[in-house]
Structure 1
C-alpha cells in the first residue's frame, strides 16, 4: 500500500482537519466531498450562530497549515455557520488544494478483491472507494486507510415517534422542513402556525428564531412538541454550562415559552400527519391532535448513513449506531451526568484495520457533538495511522460540562422523579406557556 493516499470522506470541519494532520505526519490525504464546495453541509445552516467560540472551532494542525499564509485565528466571538466557512473552512480547503475533490460522492467502501465475507488476506489488501461525480461517472480509488467524516446532516430523523416516518409524513412533505428556520425567512412563518418537533439544541435554536418572528408579528402561532412526558433537560444547564452560549440558548427558549410566544406540548409522540385544506395536522399515538400547521419543523436529530460501509466490518452499538467503545459515554438513555469524555483512536477502532469513523457520524444517533471532540478524534486517529501509538493513546482534551445533571427521567414518567442522578436531583415537571386547542401540556 506504499504510495496510496488516506481517503477522507467529507470536507467538513473534521474531514479538513484530518487532512491537515495527515499532511503534517507525512501521509497523503485525498478528501472526497459530495457537495459542490468544501463544507457544503455547514453552508446549508449558515444562518445559525454556533455556541462554541472561535478558538474552539479551529484545529491545531489546520492553524499551523494556514498561518504561513498570514491567516490568523479569530480571538473572540461566536460565528454563524457562514462565517465559520468563510473565515476558516474555505481557506483551509484552499490551502489543501487539489487534495480536496468536490462533487465526489462516495457510494461504497470495500477491500480490493474481498467482499464482506472473505477473511483470507483481507488486511493486506488496500481499500477501494467507489466514487460518482456530478455527471454520474463512476471511478474506484485505492487507499491505505479510510477516515469516514461524512457526518449525519443528510439523514435527519423523521417526525414519527417510532423512528420511522409518521403515517402520511411523506404525503405531507410540502408542509414539512427538516432544517432550522431563519429569521431572515420570516415571511414563511409570520402570521401562520408553525409546529416544532424536537428536544435538542437545533429545536431550541428554531424556537428562538420563531419567537423573534412572533415578537414582530403577534398573530404568529408557535407550538413546541416534546415526546417525553417532562420538560427535563430541554432548557439545558443555564449558567452551569461551561459553554456560556450553549447555556444561554436554552434560557432564550425558556423565556420564549414563559412569555407565551411558544406553546409547549409534552408527551406527544407523533403517529400520523394528516394533510388538510387548513394545513398539516399532527396526531399523537394517544389520539391527541394539534391545530393545523402551515409549517412543521422536524428537528428530531440525525442518524448515520451506514450504507456506504456495508462491505467493511464494523462494531457498532445496537442502539446508537456508534462505535461500541464510546456508546456508554454518549448514550442519552444511561448517561445522566453533564460531562462527556473525549475520544480517540482506541475508542474508534473498527474490526476493519485502517477504517475509522470520526466526527458527528461517530456519535451515531446521539446528540451534543462538539467540533472540539472531532478535532481530538482526528488528531489521535492520524497519529495511530502514522504509527505514533503513544500520541494516539494520549487524550489532549477535556470537554466542557453541559451543566445538566440528574438525567431526563424515565421516558414514560411524567414527573422525571425517577431519573438517574449524578450531581443534582432530577428536574421536576413544569408547565409553561399556552395550551393549544386539542392538546395538553
Structure 2
C-alpha cells in the first residue's frame, strides 16, 4: 500500500511510530482516512502535489467527527408538539396507569397535609389566649387566617411533585403551551382583571343592603393593628393560594382528563371515545365542576354560591384552553381574591376565612346571596371578552411548539 507523505509543516508523522511501528515499519491496521468530502482535490493550501484518491491512500487527516450529545434515556418527557393545553399530559412517558398513580399519590400527600394542618390548628387554639394588643382580637384569628391560606398554598409543591416525579414531565408544561410562565401575558391579564373586579365591587357596595348582604365597615375589623396584620397576611399569601388552586383545578385536573384520549396514531385512537376525550370539553367540565362539587358536599344550604362557583370555573377553564395556559385564570383569581379577602376582613369576618375557603376562589362579593351569582356572571363575562380580545391582538399561542 503506497502512502503519500503529509504536507510540509504538518504535525502528522511521515511514518508510523511506537514499538509496533518501529519493529515492523508497517501500520498495525489499514488506514481509514479519507479524502476531502465530495471528492474534491487533495492539494493542501501549501501547494502539496495533488494525488488521486484511492483505497488506503494516506492524505492529510480528516476533520474530527462531530460529537452529538445523546439524550438521557430517563430525561423528562417534552410536551407533545402541536397539542392544545389540555393534551400536554399525553407525553411519550404516558401509560394507562399514569392517572391512577397520580391520584393515588395525591391522596396520600393530601392525607399528610391534612394531619399537619390539624396539628397546626390545634397549636393555634392552645395559643389563642395571647393577644396582639390589649384592645385587639386574639392572635388565634390572625393565625387562623394565615393557616387557612397556607393550607391551599401547600398544594403548589404537591402538584409540582406529581407532574415532575410521578408523570415525569417538565413542570413548565403545566403553566402553558410555551413550556414556561408567559410573564408579560400574566401581568396583562392581571391588569385586565382590575376593571371587572372594581365594577363588581362597586355594585356590591351599592346593592348589599337590598340583598341582605354583609355591609363593609372598617370598624368591624377591630383595631388598626389587627387590620394591618390581616392585610399583610392577605398580601403575602393570597397570590400563592390562588396559584395553588389554579395549578390544581385548571392545571392538573384538566391535563389528567385531557390525556385520557389516545392519539390518532395510537391503537384505538380513531374511535369515537378517543375523539370525545381528545376534545377540550371533558377537560373543561372537569376543571370547572370539581371544586363546586366539593363545596356543595359541605355547604348544601348555599345554592347561590355553588352556582357562582360553577360559572366562574367554567369561564376560567375555557380561558385556560383558549389562551393555552393558566395565566388568564391566575390573573383574575389573584385580583378577585385580594378584593374578596379584604372586604371580608373589613366586614369583621377574619375568623370565617379559615373555614370558608370559597371566599378565596375568585368570586365576586356577596357570598351566600343571589347577588354573588349575578355579580360573578357579570364579572367573568366581561373578563372573558377582554382577555379574548387581548389574546387575539397579542397572538397568544394555543398549541405547543416543537
User: TM-score under structure 2 normalisation?
Assistant: 0.25
Higher-Rg structure is 2
User: More strand by proportion, 1 or 2?
Assistant: 1
User: TM-score under structure 1 normalisation?
Assistant: 0.23
Quick one: higher RCO (CA 8 Å, sep 6+), 1 or 2? 2
